[in-house]
Amino acid sequence: MEELQLCRTELTRQRGILANLVQHQLRPALKAEGIPILDHKDLSKSQKDELNHYFKDSVQPILSPLAVDIGHPFPFISSLALNLAISVHRPDLNQPLFIRLKVPTNRPRWVPVSEGGFVTLEQIMEAHLKQLFPRSSRIECHLFRVIRGAKDDPWDRYPGEQEEEPSYEPGSLIDMVSYELTARRFAGVIRLQVSQGMPQELKLWICRQLEADPEDIHVIKGLLSLTDLARFQVEGRSDLQDPPHVPVIHPRLRNLELEDPDSLFAEIRKADLLLHHPYHDYETSILRFLESAVRDPKVLALKLTIYRTSSRSPIIQTLKEAAMAGKQVVVLVEITARFDEAPNIAWGEELEKAGVHVVYGVKRLKTHVKLGLVIREEEDGLRRYVHLSTGNYHTGTAKLYQDLGILTCNAELGEGVSAVFNELSSALPAEEYGPLLVAPHNLRQRFTQLIRIEAENAKNGKPSGIRAKMNQLQDPQIIHELYQASQAGVPILLNVRGLCCLKPRIPNLSPTIRVYSTLGRFLEHGRIFRFENAGDPLFFIGSADWMRRNLDKRMETITPVFDAGVKQELEEILNIYEADNCTAWDLYEDGHYERREPDVDEDKRCAQETFIRLAAEL
């Protein structure tokens, strides 16, 4: 309980920081540009008349006020939905009537007004409540929303849920996930957010109706549901946005014969190819890799993992075409990918109808690997072409996420990838996976060994060092090994975008560890691991972070890099991140971050802008 209370305190602190940023930086900045977020009460008469017509024509017809009284129980409140808590006073009632009015999600939250600016939909609704309840003598209104639990692992249980594991027939993981989707909708409330000014009595009453803990009531100053700011769009103001980013075709893929499916495979046979998204175009690389496999009569089989993919995914269409062309197509669709369960179930069913062999994962292990395998018949026998990636097969996020991928026909890697796919389809672990590091089998042990080797090298006076880039760092055992290596003198530099449970820069614990985070217009998603190895550096990329869930509870792959050219490219990528003095944030021993800033006489170096420039110059 003490840890939970600490989490609540920290959550409140962070939410306060966010509210202050919106109120004192974002809103003034928008106002200065002539596009303020306005309060309805401050509008001119003509603007109010304009919104009155909008309310009558476009909002009021779809509203459903739900009263709570002896004949109307407290309604179900969906997670994350915005709601108005309304107290209606009428002369014929002894006490106010509580009415819940949901803010519709099929209407824009940010409603433009003439003369510039926006008003929130909830304020428009509040300003017109008298039209909904004309016989009221007084109306009080406050905003609230709830956040319900959403467990990461469908094998876990919600508090109070049955302990026994439901009985399912073989192959019915879909049934289990469907059950989970229903359970999630009705999961317990873990947070009740209310607008500032809501009376204490009303807060506690709503809390009781929701069977929530009063400790989980959070009073929000300013706007609720700030994630909706992502949909705040102003037409005609491109000057307020990042310049459009157009990915470039990888230099080695620019002069290929488009009508010759062998041209791409021939290029891969020359040397491994490193793709760095979103700087390298996804459609002319990965999508073309898959499309070439469909069109090439020499390709016999195609295997792929789907964790998340885009709506109307061209990758799904390509896989269907491959099956209809008579190729053996096996696709792992991970239907326990949180918040993508329903679309993934639909994708799996669609692929099955096209003749694709679809498997849905390994029991109690979420499949997070990002692998593609093409098996091609050539003059000297069958050859495996593989795509080893840090990112999903998702054409949408490929434009927004920083990720890495390697196209290779290395025989050892191909055999290892085949072993992984055989485990995914047979549900039986392989004896070995070639050079691949595979969770939950050998990934933890191999990383531990690599860290310990660096510690021994440092003790023996040999070159040592660990440089890594990842999303999260949480695993206690890995952190312990890093501390031990630091105490042995190993220089350790970690680029951790998000959660980091390691404490750097502490004498006698982590004196040689430095941690920073890169935050730019693209989400940093790629994982790179570099070990100095006594002067002969080892490089790895893959899908796993240094987190317990990735090392023990998921199917993950980390691949060693063998190609000298790819190693050099990864070295340069790490160097560019480490030299960033604009979008990098350094973590200090007390847990706070400080943004790097260039010195007065120093040029600005932004990693992502550097990658954009370098890709365009090649």
Structure tokens at 173: 């993981």
| Pairwise CA distance, residues 177 & 432, whole Å | 30
| Pairwise CA distance, residues 457 & 516, whole Å | 25
Q: Which H or E run includes 168? A: none
Structure tokens at 25: 């930086």
Among candidate residues 40, 128, 368, 394, the one labeled active-site is 368
Beta 273-277 vs 217-220: how paired, if at all? unpaired
DSSP 92-146: T-SSPEEEEEEPPTTS-SEEE-TTS-EEEHHHHHHHTHHHHSTT-SEEEEEEEEE
| Pairwise CA distance, residues 40 & 59, whole Å | 16
Active site annotation includes 368: yes
| Pairwise CA distance, residues 498 & 513, whole Å | 17
| Pairwise CA distance, residues 493 & 504, whole Å | 10
- What type of residue sits at position 520? G
| Pairwise CA distance, residues 529 & 461, whole Å | 22
Structure tokens at 158: 């919600």
Contact at 8 Å (CB) between 458 and 488?
Answer: yes
Contact at 8 Å (CB) between 136 and 80?
Answer: no
Contact at 8 Å (CB) between 393 and 370?
Answer: yes
Structure tokens at 355: 């003749």
Structure tokens at 505: 């820069």
Q: Quick one: which of 118, 100, 117, 93 has its CA closest to 108?
A: 118
Q: Which residues contact 134 (CB under 8 A, 6 or more apart)?
A: none
Q: Which residues contact 400 (CB under 8 A, 6 or more apart)?
A: 278, 522, 523
Q: How far is CA 375 from CA 139, 297, 305, in A?
A: 69, 11, 15
Contact at 8 Å (CB) between 187 and 169?
Answer: no
Backbone phi, psi, residue 40, to 5°: -55, -35
Structure tokens at 72: 């109307």
CA angle (583 as vertex; 581, 586 as ends), nearest 5: 75
Q: Quick one: which of 181, 187, 184, 132 has its CA closest to 159?
A: 187
Question: Which stretches does DSSP call E strand in 290-400?
Answer: 299-306, 328-333, 357-359, 366-367, 371-378, 381-389
Q: Which residues contact 613 (CB under 8 A, 6 or more apart)?
A: none
Contact at 8 Å (CB) between 267 and 289?
Answer: no
Cα distance between the two ends of the chain: 56
Q: Mind telling me the catalytic residues? A: 368
